[in-house]
Chain A
Amino acid sequence: MTAYRLSAGGLVDRSAPLTFTFDGQSMQGFEGDTLASGLLANDRMLVGRSFKYHRPRGIVSAGVSEPNALVTLGLGARSDPNTKATVAELYAGLDARSQNRWPSLKYDVGAVNGLLSPFLSAGFYYKTFMWPAAFWEKVYEPIIRKAAGLGRAVLERDPETYEKCWAHCDLLVIGSGPTGLMAALSAGRAGLRVVLADEGFRHGGSLLSETTPIDGAPAAAFAAAAITELEALPNVTLMTRTTVFGWYDDNVFGALERVQKHVATPSAKLPVERLWRIAARRALLATGAEERPLVFGGNDRPGVMMAGALSTYANRYGVAAGTSVAIFTNGSAGYRTAADLSAHGISVAAIIDSRAESPDVAPSGTRVIRGGSIVDTKGKLRLSGLVVERAGFEEIIDCDAIGMSGGFSPVIHLACQRGAKPLWSEALKAFVAPDVGQGFGVAGSAAGLYSLPACLRDGADKAQAFANDLGFSTSPADLPVVGAEPDPSFTALWYVAGAKSKAFVDFQNDVHVSDLGLALREGFGHVEHAKRYTTNGMATDQGKLSGINATGLLAAMQGISPADVGTTTFRPFYTPVPFGALAGTSRDEHAAPKRVSPLHGWAARNGAVFIDSGLWYRPSWFARAGEKTWRESVDREVLTVRANVGLCDVSTLGKIEVFGPDAAEFLNRVYCNPFLKLPVGKARYGLMLREDGMVYDDGTTSRLGPEHFVVTTTTALAGGVLSHMEYCAQVLWPDLNLRFCSVSDQWAQMAIAGPKARLVVQALVEDDVSNAAFPFLAAKAVTLKGGLKGRLFRISFSGELAYELAVPAGYGEAVADALMEAGRAHGICAYGLEALNVLRIEKGHVTHAELDGRVTPDDVGFGRMLSSQKADFIGKRLSTRFGLTAADRMQMVGLKPIEKDKDIRAGAHLLREGAKPSTLNDQGYVSSACHSPVLGQFIALGFLKSGRERYGEKVVIWDRLRGEETLAEVCSPVFVDPANARLNL
């Protein structure tokens, strides 16, 4: 036995034992344990294998900086790889598994890499796997992938739920150690809206491991009392298990709350994790300081740990990480750990102090080796001893754990995530955060204050300063009484000379001292280059322990100050954030809103097969019994409209009502064709250009009154056209007197098309809809029989006699049902988007397949719509530029295959007959194609150079993707009723 549970002490609940498993072995822990403390209590130090050499690795830390103890938690789809055992909260039934080993932790085949280590130096992959290129995919990568990597990602669908949430506060306090608690108390008492967030599952931070009494009571009791007071304040929000991972613009902080990561069976009512965005007027970073490892020979042996972690395991969790512990320190912190361990009855084998002299006092009876250094360690899967060197003499000391303490680095990541560079403090021998302003302060150990009284005072002072800054009055801080603490000084020690085996800098990525030396020699000495070249700090721990030592080593090797080396860039996220949490509830069908047409129920009842169309969910076709393919349904729908009558949902078109004395003038400026003289009661087809002269959108606009218009847009650009019109009205021409608003959702709109459309419409509408009373392009408010008010438009996309009837949305389904009922005698059918597309291609009407942002009005045959009479309109000036009026522009044409049974697909290229199939010979392209049941063959719309002069010519339709070449005849794009006789029935 080496590691074990102490008989007493700690903040674990010994009355609440928990059973968990590690690599299938059942173990016992207590409520309040982490997985790491639970493992140590069961004498499990070896928990993983390193990334590159597969070296055995043990628990190093007691927090988020942990490089080694990465495990996979949970089962099946719920598996969570690369979880730090040092922060994972223990719960009954927790199933944890080690990673990166095969077949087992103790006997790992990959460890052969360790024997090959002379060949696996930094940059090895870059140098070795460069050539030949073909080998990369076939040989090198599969081997590397098999050997490397940590936990395995789960391929099953993530069953967890996530959500996002906003919070707003006057002061966000990050970290609830002594500094953060005092800051939250001060600000909370002053009445500020405070959020106190801590990554741990229990508030208190370092106070939970602290042995110095506060106000005469244990530090943890002080923390508990502070939390009780804060909980009672309605203006304070306490968040545990919440990591503030990023600082963004305007003091918005990202935080991840692990809501149910610590329960065996998550409740379906709650998300498993919650992503917070916290908008804070002021924020205080109270994240403490990180103890540094020492870089000495054999420092990665399982059992070599951070000294502070040994204290934490003993004081907070009641766990001894070893029976005989050596301390290796360059400052006073190591002596504190020795005292903590001694107090728990854990034997301290020796304190090895790198300093020749120091004022620190060891527990009585403890051997102190001043001016000593560890040059090697003994043991295989577990430390069994160390080799200490002093004044040229070596000695072997038996021990099963080493507590190393290399000084402290303030945890300043968040303050430096927005470009501010950490500053080197010669006094602190550490990088500190510069003044980042913007109401984001740093306090306590994170600001380089290491004694408990100083931290308590600093937290109170800085919170009060923020409170006063925000206009809150404060009373002098009521600071607790703390006994004097020893001076927490240390002497920088970047590398322990005389190493007899590898001295690791980055445990997780297996970077050792000589790798950094190689990087320097090969010209990658810049701290950012060295990181990429050696992979130091690139693992999941992001160099929390290794970064500062790499900087110190690079400085020492060059004989310069760490200030001149600097740190690598601190970026969000401070600790990993799952993709699921970033997506929140926006996944699967909820990734975007689903817009529902007011006629949805009608369509569903009529057998609609729906399709996503932008945000809408629209009927594609209406399948009837016996129809085996979608084409059968579509052909029937098209022929029914051409012969009888059909009903189509066009509610999704954008509808904008425009009011005011200048409404007509405004429309005259946003459309390229004239609108001033549009009579009341009439609709007109309009083309909107972009300022560069290209067509933007099209639609019909109707004048319902002298100062009242209703504009329709395409479904796709309903939002864009509204924004464009708002820009024109608000920014370009604010002097025009008009107002408008979208009424898209107010109206259910139905197209009733076909030679028998009038019979159907007249059956419902009170007003006379005859050709004489209501001719093509008529538009007006109508009354339906029974009194319902609606709007009727005589417009046609299909080329048939057609009406569009709009009624208030709630009545849509009932009116559509009534139209179907009225049309039954006339053979009515519902038709969907596919039939609508066939009908409009047959008629040569354009959609955004043609109006793709590259076409001018003339390209699609609307050149005459460009008004030369108007002084100005959007796109007028640039529509006349040379390139847009060139004679060889591609113009819209119709295309018919010479062999009638040949298929045409949109996207194919057009070539001259006999030309070599090459884009160099490109003459144009196919924009829309369909099977025309009326013509009994495939037809297409396309764009062809000088196309309107080439009717009758044969061109090749070249579908490069499918390797097809089809000979086709160029023709007018209007395949059906070119004289428009059917429109005016």
Chain B
Amino acid sequence: MASLIPCPHCGIRPKEEFSIRGDASLVRPDPESSDETWNDYVHIRANPRGRYREHWQHVAGCRRWLVVERDTFTHEVFSVSDGAVRPWETSR
């Protein structure tokens, strides 16, 4: 795991300021979706070697949920961005 995470809001911080939730590519399904879709969303996780996008929260800092793209093998961090794509920000 990376030792230092560049938080887009707070700067470079040690990993103990963060907590990890997991796969950031999951999209919460529509409530009417099939059992299988929901089962995949809630229970099924890949454990990839290599590039992985995860949700990390900067709990001891800005408390924002971030998307950390990292390599699970080399531990390299490629990018860290805010987890929310907010409509009023994209419209600017």
Contact = CB atoms under 8 A, between A and B. Distances in A.
Instruction: Say if the two chains contact directly (CB < 8 Å).
Output: yes
Nearest to B55: A731
A617 B82 CA distance: 36
B8 to A, nearest CB: 13
Interface residues of A, number: 25
Interface string A723-736: 10011001110110
B86 to A, nearest CB: 5
B86 A734 contact: yes
A915 B3 CA distance: 56
Interface string A710-743: 0000000001001100110011101100000000
Contact of A878 (B42, B77, B86): B42
Contacts of B3: 248-250, 252, 279
A881 interface: yes
A691 interface: yes
Interface stretch (A671-679, A696-704, A869-877): A869-877
A416 B3 CA distance: 17
Contact of B64 (A719, A722, A730, A872): A730
A692 interface: yes
Given A876-B31, A878-B42, A731 B84 contact: yes
B49 interface: no
A701 B59 CA distance: 24
A591 B12 CA distance: 26
A727 B64 CA distance: 8
A877 B63 CA distance: 28
B21 A734 contact: no
Contact of B75 (A249, A691, A692, A878): A249
Size bracket of the B interface: 20 to 34
A279 B4 contact: yes
Interface string B15-52: 00001010000001101010100100111000000000
Interface string A315-328: 00000000000000
Nearest to A875: B42
B65 A730 contact: yes
B62 to A, nearest CB: 10
A723 B18 CA distance: 12
Interface in A727-785: 727, 730-732, 734-735
Given A732-B28, A734-B86, A876-B31, A727 B4 contact: no
A727 B55 contact: yes
Nearest to B2: A249
B85 interface: yes
A277 B85 CA distance: 35
A120 to B, nearest CB: 42
Contact of A723 (B1, B19, B38, B77): B19
B87 A734 contact: yes
B84 A730 contact: yes
Contacts of B38: 877-878
B85 A734 contact: yes
Given A726-B57, A877-B38, A731 B4 contact: no
A721 to B, nearest CB: 13
Contacts of A726: 57, 63-65
A249 B55 CA distance: 19
26 contacts: A166-B14, A249-B1, A249-B75, A252-B4, A252-B14, A279-B3, A279-B4, A691-B28, A691-B42, A692-B42, A722-B63, A723-B59, A726-B64, A726-B65, A727-B55, A727-B57, A730-B64, A731-B83, A731-B84, A734-B87, A735-B86, A735-B87, A871-B31, A876-B31, A878-B38, A881-B35
Interface of B: 1-4, 12, 14, 19, 21, 28-29, 31, 33, 35, 38, 41-43, 55, 57, 59, 63-65, 75, 77, 82-87
Given A732-B28, A734-B87, A735-B87, 8 more contacts: A250-B75, A279-B3, A722-B63, A726-B64, A727-B57, A730-B64, A730-B82, A877-B33
